[in-house]
Amino acid sequence: MPERTMPVCFTDKQYRIIEEYARSRGMLNAGQALESLLQNR
> Does any domain span residue 4?
no
**Distance separating alpha carbons of residues 2 and 24, to the nearest angstrom:** 25
Q: What is the CA radius of gyration of the chain?
A: 10
How many residues comprise the chain?
41
Question: Tens digit of pLDDT for each residue in 1-36?
Answer: 567 777 889 999 999 999 999 999 999 999 999 888
Residue 26 DSSP label: T
Residue 3 lies in a domain: no
CA 23 to chain centre: 11
Is residue 2 a part of any domain in this protein?
A: no
15 is a domain residue: yes
40 assigned to some structural domain: yes
Would 41 be classed as within a structural domain?
yes
State pTM to two decimals. Answer: 0.72
